[in-house]
Amino acid sequence: MEFSLKDKAITLFCENKEVIFQDNPAEVIRARESAFRKFKQLGFPTKKMEEWRNTNLSDILSRNHHFNFEAPKEDIDIEKIFQCEVPNFDTHIVSLYNGWYVSRDKPLETLPNGTIVGSFARALKEYPELVLKHYNKYCKNELNGLNALNTAFAQDGVFIYVPDNVGAYKPIQIVNILDKGNNLFVQNRNLIIVGKNSKLSFLHCDDSRNHEASFSNTVTEVFIDEGASVDHYKLQNLNDKTTLINSTFFQQEKDSQLSSFAITLNGGIVRNDSHVLLNNKGIDSNIYGLYLVDKEQHVDNRVFVDHASPNCTSNELFKGILDDQGSAAFNGHVLVRRDAQQTNACQTNRNILLTDKAKAHAKPFLEIYADDVKCSHGATVGQLDDEALFYIKSRGISEYNAKLLLMYAFAAEVVNKISLPALKSRIDDLVKKRLRGELAVCSQCVLHCQSQEQVYDFKIDMSKL
């Protein structure tokens, strides 16, 4: 009989219930059981589904992946395998190793501004009321089987709680390291709660440590309370054999602000799903993406913005450069509900194809039921501008550098929106390296390239752009 990962997952869930449910409050167990039924019904996404038509998981899912239900016994010395080397970038690092929180035996930490950070599994024990108020409230298990599977299975992840009315502390950097994968199916669940009028910057880095295949299915729920402000950066630098499904569900409350970036520098198949519910008035929501794709890599960004309230602004800008046989998809869906008057929504996806074999699919989509709104959408797929190339070359700049200049300028529109200066300059370096073909997958984090940007003819000073 043909192997079915769905059947395997179903069997494993039934066999390992005791371990999965261990120490879980009754609400969590109910949520898992319900999501499990949903998964049985939905199965894994297929190309027959409109929202997955450009991303084919069937080959990957036909492999016999294995699941770990027990955290690794041996202590992981995270400092040995990961050191963030972004110059002058001071973050508070929390790590996941194959989906398990590193040092999960330790109690949750309280940072100087009162922010609580730690293992999601541990938070369920220490702060059950706080967690249960938000857990599984934003994730859409009915949306696809992967989300449901995550709810049913995921045992650990990162928990962050920022209390009301606190200013920014250091950015919190979640590092999800995949190691010794060999078809490991990793699932983690993150919950981020940002209190009223508070600020949080957090990074969500997905990295491979070696070249073994693995499948990472992550769900992150983010609640942004009234007047709060969140900067979110997904940085993805995985090996070519890794599949990453990264689903983030945001709920924003009155007058809150969000900037979320999905920066994909490398990966096998990467799917970023961002769901944003604008739940009250005066919200500002910015969803940005930058993907640099080559070889046979595939990057799929899906964004759903639900304008459920009036006077909100949402802005999507996704840009991609595709080389070799790389492919990308963008699916943007903005829903403006009947009461969401005075909505301002903008969707943009631009792609540059460097070869005949590279492919980009763009589907910007607006669904509007209110009448007093300002919405725009646009998508382009094209080559570098020949007129601009000729102009640059006519000044004596080589074809190679002329193309670099144009590609770099194209990417810079997204990079320039990064508000943490040290991160911006690092991403800027990495984009340059990537465009010059110097950056294959790092053995470690995307932010962990040992070699600094070298002095080079092609020197761009971001501050001047």
- Judge whether 10 and 35 are in contact, CB under 8 Å: no
| CB-based contact 442:237 (threshold 8 Å) | yes
94 or 415, CB closer to another protein?
A: 415
Q: Look up residue 218 and give its DSSP letter.
A: E
| Closest to another protein by CB, 64 or 394 | 394
Q: CB 17 → another protein: shortest distance, Å?
A: 54
For every residue of 101-117, DSSP letters joined together read ETTTTSPPEE-TTS-EE
Nearest-5° Cα angle at 143, 141 to 148 = 30
What span, in angstroms and rounded, lies between the C-alpha atoms of 22 and 456? 55
270 vs 411, which CB is nearer to another protein? 411
Is 194 within 8 Å of 225 (Cβ atoms)? Answer: yes
d(CA 105, CA 10): 29
C-beta of 100 vs 291, nearer to another protein: 291
Q: Contact positions toward another protein, by CB under 8 A?
A: 385-388, 390-399, 401-402, 405-406, 408-410, 412-413, 457-461, 464-465
- 98 near 177, Cβ under 8 Å? yes
What is the bridge-based pairing of β-strands 66-67 and 184-194? parallel
Min dist CB 389 to another protein, Å, is: 9
Pick the closer one to another protein by CB: 105 or 457.
Answer: 457
Per DSSP, 453 falls in state P
Element (H, E) at 58: helix 58-61
- For the bound state, the minimum distance from the C-beta of residue 465 to another protein, rounded and expressed in Å, comes to 5
For the record, the structure tokens of 381 come out as 């797929």
CB nearer to another protein: pick between 45 and 289: 289
Considering the complex, what minimum distance in angstroms separates the CB of residue 317 from another protein? Answer: 13
Written as one letter, the residue type at 188 is N
- Minimum CB distance to another protein smaller for 271 or for 434: 434
Picking from 240, 249, 184, 198, the residue whose alpha carbon sits closest to that of residue 220 is 249
Nearer of residues 73 and 395 to another protein, judged by Cβ: 395
Q: How far is the CB of 349 from another protein (least distance, A)?
A: 17
Supply the minimum distance, in Å, between the C-beta of residue 350 and another protein.
11
Using CA atoms of 14, 16, 18, 24 in order, give the dihedral in degrees to the nearest 10. Answer: -100
Shortest reach from residue 405's CB to another protein, in Å: 5
Q: What SS3 class is residue 278? A: strand
Q: Which of 12, 334, 278 is nearest to 138 (CA)?
A: 278
Our CB check for another protein shows the closer of 29 and 409 to be 409
